[in-house]
Amino acid sequence: MKFETVAEVIKSERCFAQVKVGDKLVFDPIFNPEKSKGVMCPKALLPVMNQIGAIWEMATEWAASGKEKPPEIVWRFIRCFRSRT
């Protein structure tokens, strides 16, 4: 199985790490810095990693089902753990 997970920034406001709209983190299945674009901020990475665990679980279920085409899984909103001031 070959899966690629892409987390793309669609909104960024007052980001201390300077994460910008369009930055992408690519996992295939582990983090691939060569395919990724932009800043890798730990506060943004943690919630993405939580979702990747769920994606791997669904991928395992898909593989066991014998279906040919993998499902497309989209999370529209994942927030980083920035401090509220």
Across the 85 residues of the chain, what is the mean pLDDT of every consecutive 10-residue run?
79 85 88 89 79 78 75 64 51
Distance CA 65, CA 78 (A): 28
In this prediction, residue 78 carries a pLDDT of 65
DSSP 7-47: EE-----S-TT---TT-EEEESSSB-TTT-BS---HHHHHH
In this prediction, residue 35 carries a pLDDT of 94
- Is 49 in contact with 34 (CB distance < 8 Å)? no
Q: What is the pTM of this model?
A: 0.67
